[in-house]
Amino acid sequence: MDKLKLGVLISGRGSNLQALIDACADPGYPAEIVLVISNRPDAGGLARTQATDIATRVIEHTNYEDRESFDRDVDAALRDAGAQLICLAGFMRLLSAWFVDQWPDRIVNIHPSLLPAFKGTDSHAQALAAGVKLTGCTVHFVRSEMDAGPIIMQAAVPVLYGDDEDSLAARVLTAEHQCYPRAVRLIAEGRITVEDSRATITDNLEAGPPLYNPPAD
């Protein structure tokens, strides 16, 4: 079977990109990365493709007068590379409605909270301020509103006594690295259907154990 061709968009250190690179290194994984684009020339994540043959482009948003002309060049680069699914991996720019319309249910994002809670850039601070006992991460299809769209997969992560933003972010990040490749696999295997604002995993019939925090005795 043909592998699903991924275009990955980054702005920073690219640890989720690394998780996808590692997953794609398995010959049995049903997707491959055809292009990585960074909107920042100094993104640490750019170095992650060096030991691979993955094509990499820097398209600096600061060189563009408006959001849509930047998005048009990103769109053209992804199409030239043959991308079929766009994975936002710490891509810290809002995509225009025009761009999102070009790729219906073909853009996914990972966000470090259990959406729809704690949207935005300070999810862990919001979780700590709210005193939730479980937070986590979400992989979702992208809509033009920030951190919104049909949810594909989530992982719940405990908040512990004494946590600060860094310790919580690190615990959630470990879950992100497991979630993102799994969610992309579900899409590549054709197991997700999207209707309006809801994504369904059609064969998801087996419940894992509930996660208690504090742990149940």
* Residue positions annotated with a catalytic role: 111
Could you say which residues in the range 79-108 bind ligand GAR, by CB under 6 A? 89-90
149 binds ligand GAR (CB under 6 A): no
Q: Which is nearer to ligand GAR, 173 or 211 (CB)?
A: 173
Residue 208: CB minimum distance to ligand GAR, A: 22
Query: Measured from the CB atom, is 77 or 146 closer to ligand GAR?
Result: 146
Q: Which of 6, 35, 48, 112 lies at the binding interface for ligand GAR (CB under 6 A)?
A: 112
Residue where the block lists tokens 């997953």 = 23
- Give the nearer residue to ligand GAR in terms of CB position, either 45 or 181: 45
Report how far residue 66's alpha carbon sits from residue 61's, in angstroms, rounded to the nearest whole number: 9
65 burial level (CB within 10 Å; 0-12, 13-18, 19+): exposed
**Separation between Cα atoms, residue 54 and residue 146, nearest integer Å:** 28
Site membership for ligand GAR, residue 147 (CB under 6 A): yes
Q: Is 75 in the site for ligand GAR (CB under 6 A)?
A: no
Options 94-102, 110-118, 153-161, 186-194: segment touching ligand GAR (CB under 6 A): 110-118
Please list every residue from 10 through 49 that binds ligand GAR, using CB under 6 A.
10, 12-16, 45
Of the pair 164, 203, the CB lying nearest ligand GAR is at 164
Q: Does 173 bind ligand GAR (CB under 6 A)?
A: yes
Structure tokens that stand for 74 in this block:
């990103």
Nearest alpha carbon to residue 110 among 133, 141, 132, 135: 141
| Closer residue to ligand GAR (CB): 80 or 164 | 164
- Per-residue x/- marks for ligand GAR, 179-208, CB under 6 A? ------------------------------
Q: Which residues bind ligand GAR (CB under 6 A)?
A: 10, 12-16, 45, 89-90, 110-112, 121, 147, 173, 176
